[in-house]
C-alpha cells in the first residue's frame, strides 16, 4: 500500500525522510550556550524576515518622520526663529532695564545717604561730536535750575562740571577734557594738586613735587578748593607716577566710567557731603558711594612747591595748600542757586 | 538469472524481485541490531562488522524498491541510534536511509547476486555510509569525524567479506 502510494515520488519521499531525521537531530543537538540546534536554525530562517520587516517598518517610519511629518517644519522653523528674535530683543530690553535699575538704585542710595545735599538726577542724552572734546549733554537744563559750574558726579566718582546751560539741557565738561581742571589731593599723603584733563582717557595730577611719595593705585580725591566739587569725592586712582621737572608726571584713571555714562547726579550746591562709615579698612578707601572715609591724618605735612614751607593740613585753607605756581584749578564757582531738588 | 554484475545488460523488468516470509525482514533487522549491541560488550572486534548496514544493504538490493529500502534503512538506523550510548537519534538514521534508498535503486537496475559484485557493493556502501555519517557529524554536531582511515578501510574489507557470507545465508530465507 505504502509502496504504491509513494512509488511515483521516491526521491521526494527520501528527501522528506532525511529532512525529518535532520530535524530530529536538530532537536537533540545543543550548540554553544546549551542552545538547541533547531533554535539556531529557526532563528536563522526567521531572522532575515524579521530583520527585513523591522527594517521595512523602520524605513517606513523614518520616511514618515523625515518627510511627511516634516512638511510643517519650515513654517515652524520660521515661527521659532521669529520667536527667538523676539525673545532676544526682550532679553536685551530686560538686561538694559536691569542695568538702568542698578544705576538708578545706586543714585537713589547716594541721594538717600546724603540728604543734606541738593542734587538732581540726570540722564546723558548725547556727547560731543568733536572727538577731541570730552563733553556730554544732559537732559536737565535751566528749567530744572541747573547752573554753570555745578558738579556732576556718579556714585563711582566725579564726572565733570556744567559748562553750558540751555533751557532743557546742559553740557558737562568731563574731567579728562583738556580744558578741565579741579582741585585734588592724594588720599594717603593728603598732598594737594590739580587734576587736569589731557584729552586722553586718563587725567593728569599736576603740581605734585618729586619728593612726594606717590605710588600707582593710590586714590585721588577732590580737595574742595575749587568750590565746585565737594571735598573728598573720589576722582580716580593713580595709574602711573614718574619723576618730572619740576613736578611729577602723574596719570589718574577716573573712577567714573566716563566713556559709558548714562545716569549722573548734578549737585545743586557745592556743599560738602557727609562722610559715610567705612568698614574698617586702614587708610583711605572709597565707600560704595564714592565718598572717601579718611581714618588717619596724613603722615607728614604738605610742602608747598613754591615756598618749601609746610602747609597747614587744614582743608579749610585751600589756598595755603595749593601750589603757588599752580594756576587756578577751575573757574571759581558761582554761588549755586538753592534750587529745589527734583 | 545471471550472477554477474552486468549493468545495462538486463532491463529493470527482467530483474527478479525476491520475496520473503512474513516478518523475515523485520526480524532479521532486529536480530542484527541486537547482535551488534550484544557483541559490542565483548570487545572492539565487533566494530569490524556493521551488521545493521549489511542488513540494510541486503534487503535493499533484494527488494529493489527504493521506498521500502529507504524506510528499512531509516528504521534500522534510528534503532541503532537509540541503542547507542550517546548518538543523537537520526545520525545513523540519515546515513542508512540514504544507503537503503541507494541500494534499492541500484538493485533495481543491476543484478547483484554474484559474490564479487556483492563484495564490491558492500565495500562501496560501507564507505558511502561512512561519508554520509561523517558529513552529518561535521555539519550538525561539529565533530571532526574522519571520512577515511586505515581502520575504516579494514572495517570495510572485513564487513564486505562477512557480508558476502551473510548474504548467502539470508538468500535461504527467500520464498523462491
From the list A3, A14, A25, the residue facing B91 with the nearest CB is A25
Residue numbers of the domain that contains A27:
2-68
Q: Cα–Cα distance between A83 and A94 in angstroms, integer?
A: 16
Could you say which DSSP state residue A341 is in? P
Which chain B residue has the Cα nearest residue A23? B90
Which chain A residue has the Cα nearest residue B68? A3
Residues A174 and A274 in one domain: yes
* The pLDDT of residue A311: 37
Q: Do A14 and B71 touch (CB under 8 A)?
A: no
Structural domains of chain B, with CATH? 19-171 (1.10.1760)
Q: Is residue A139 part of a domain?
A: no
Q: Is residue A125 part of a domain?
A: no
CATH number of the domain residue A254 falls in: 2.40.10.350
Q: Where are the alpha helices (DSSP H) in A182-337?
A: 318-321
Interface of B with A in 140-159 (CB under 8 A): 140-142
Q: What grid cell was written down for B20?
A: 520473503
Residues A299 and A164 in one domain: yes
Q: How far is CA A240 from CA A157, A249, B28, in A?
A: 19, 8, 124
Q: Cα–Cα distance between B157 and B124 in angstroms, integer?
A: 10
Burial of residue A200 (number of CB atoms within 10 Å: 0-12, 13-18, 19+): exposed
Interchain CB contact of B68 with A (< 8 Å) = yes
Going residue by residue through chain A, which has 342 residues, state the pLDDT in tens, using 9 for 90 and above. Answer: 555 555 567 888 888 888 888 888 888 877 766 777 777 777 777 778 878 888 888 888 777 777 776 777 888 889 999 999 999 999 999 998 898 888 788 878 877 777 777 888 898 888 776 666 788 889 999 999 999 999 999 888 999 999 989 999 999 999 988 888 899 999 888 889 999 988 788 899 999 988 888 989 999 999 888 888 888 889 999 999 988 888 999 999 999 988 888 889 998 876 666 655 443 334 444 444 445 444 444 433 333 333 333 333 333 333 333 343 333 333 333 333 433 343
Q: Is residue A81 part of a domain?
A: no
Tens digits of residue pLDDT in A107-133: 788 777 777 778 888 988 887 766 667
Question: How far is the alpha carbon of A61 from chain B, nearest alpha carbon, in Å?
Answer: 40
Q: Cα–Cα distance between A282 and A293 in angstroms, integer?
A: 10
Decide: pTM greater than 0.80: no
Which chain A residue has the Cα nearest residue B91? A25
How many structural domains is chain A composed of?
A: 2
Residues A64 and A158 in one domain: no
Closest listed residue to residue A121, CA positions, set A105, A109, A107: A107
From the list B67, B74, B140, the residue facing A10 with the nearest CB is B67
Which chain B residue has the Cα nearest residue A22? B90
Chain B residues with beta carbon closer than 8 angstroms to that of A39: none
Q: Which residues in chain B show pLDDT less than 50?
A: 1-13
Interchain CB contact of B75 with A (< 8 Å) = no
Could you say which DSSP state residue A144 is in? G
Confirm if A160 and A173 have CB atoms less than 8 A apart.
Answer: yes
Q: Cα–Cα distance between B155 and B51 in angstroms, integer?
A: 12
Residues A296 and A168 in one domain: yes
Confirm if A231 and A212 have CB atoms less than 8 A apart.
Answer: no
**Percent of chain A residues past pLDDT 90, beyond the cut:** 23
* The pLDDT of residue A111: 76
Amino acid at each position: 500500500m505504502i509502496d504504491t502510494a509513494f512509488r511515483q515520488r521516491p526521491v521526494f519521499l527520501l528527501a522528506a525522510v532525511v529532512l525529518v531525521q535532520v530535524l530530529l537531530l536538530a532537536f537533540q543537538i545543543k550548540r554553544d550556550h546549551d542552545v538547541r540546534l533547531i533554535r539556531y536554525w529557526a532563528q536563522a530562517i526567521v531572522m532575515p524576515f524579521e530583520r527585513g520587516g523591522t527594517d521595512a517598518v523602520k524605513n517606513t517610519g523614518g520616511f514618515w518622520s523625515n518627510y511627511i511629518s516634516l512638511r510643517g517644519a519650515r513654517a515652524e522653523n520660521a515661527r521659532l526663529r521669529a520667536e527667538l528674535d523676539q525673545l532676544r530683543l526682550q532679553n536685551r530690553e530686560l538686561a538694559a532695564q536691569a542695568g538702568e535699575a542698578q544705576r538708578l538704585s545706586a543714585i537713589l542710595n547716594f541721594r538717600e545717604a546724603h540728604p543734606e545735599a541738593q542734587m538732581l538726577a540726570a540722564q546723558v542724552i548725547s556727547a560731543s561730536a568733536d572727538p577731541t572734546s570730552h563733553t556730554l549733554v544732559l537732559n536737565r537744563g535751566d528749567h530744572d535750575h541747573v547752573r554753570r559750574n555745578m558738579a556732576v558726579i556718579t556714585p563711582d566718582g566725579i564726572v565733570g562740571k556744567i559748562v553750558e546751560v540751555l533751557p532743557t539741557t546742559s553740557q558737562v565738561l568731563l574731567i579728562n577734557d583738556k580744558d578741565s581742571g579741579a582741585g585734588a589731593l592724594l588720599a594717603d599723603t593728603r598732598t594737594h594738586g590739580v587734576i587736569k584733563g589731557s584729552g586722553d582717557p586718563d587725567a593728569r595730577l599736576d603740581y605734585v613735587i618729586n619728593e612726594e611719595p606717590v605710588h600707582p593705585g593710590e586714590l585721588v580725591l577732590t580737595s574742595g578748593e575749587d568750590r565746585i566739587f565737594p571735598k573728598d569725592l573720589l576722582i580716580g586712582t593713580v595709574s602711573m607716577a614718574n619723576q618730572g621737572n619740576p613736578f611729577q608726571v602723574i596719570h589718574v584713571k577716573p573712577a567714573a566710567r566716563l566713556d559709558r555714562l548714562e545716569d549722573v547726579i548734578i549737585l545743586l550746591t557745592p556743599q560738602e557731603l557727609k562722610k559715610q562709615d567705612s568698614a574698617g579698612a586702614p587708610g583711605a578707601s572709597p565707600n560704595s558711594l564714592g565718598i572717601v572715609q579718611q581714618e588717619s591724618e596724613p603722615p607728614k605735612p604738605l610742602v608747598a612747591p613754591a615756598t618749601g614751607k609746610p602747609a597747614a593740613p587744614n582743608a579749610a585753607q585751600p589756598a595755603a595748600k595749593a601750589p603757588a605756581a599752580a594756576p587756578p584749578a577751575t573757574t571759581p564757582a558761582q554761588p549755586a542757586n538753592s534750587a529745589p531738588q527734583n | 538469472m545471471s550472477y554477474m554484475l552486468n549493468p545495462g545488460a538486463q532491463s529493470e523488468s527482467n530483474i527478479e524481485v525476491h520475496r520473503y516470509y512474513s516478518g523475515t525482514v523485520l526480524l532479521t533487522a532486529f536480530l542484527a541490531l541486537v547482535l551488534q549491541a550484544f557483541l559490542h560488550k565483548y570487545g572492539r572486534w565487533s566494530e569490524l562488522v556493521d551488521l545493521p548496514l549489511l542488513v540494510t544493504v541486503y534487503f535493499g538490493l533484494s527488494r529493489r524498491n527504493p521506498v521500502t529500502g529507504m524506510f528499512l534503512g531509516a528504521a534500522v538506523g534510528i534503532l541503532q541510534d537509540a541503542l547507542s550510548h550517546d548518538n543523537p537519534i537520526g545520525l545513523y538514521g540519515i546515513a542508512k536511509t540514504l544507503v537503503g534508498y541507494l541500494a534499492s535503486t541500484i538493485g533495481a537496475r543491476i543484478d547483484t547476486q554474484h559474490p564479487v559484485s556483492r563484495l564490491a557493493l558492500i565495500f562501496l556502501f560501507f564507505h558511502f555510509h561512512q561519508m554520509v555519517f561523517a558529513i552529518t557529524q561535521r555539519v550538525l554536531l561539529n565533530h571532526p569525524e574522519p571520512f577515511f582511515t586505515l581502520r575504516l578501510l579494514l572495517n570495510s574489507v572485513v564487513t564486505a567479506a562477512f557480508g558476502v557470507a551473510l548474504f548467502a545465508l539470508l538468500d535461504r530465507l527467500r520464498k523462491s
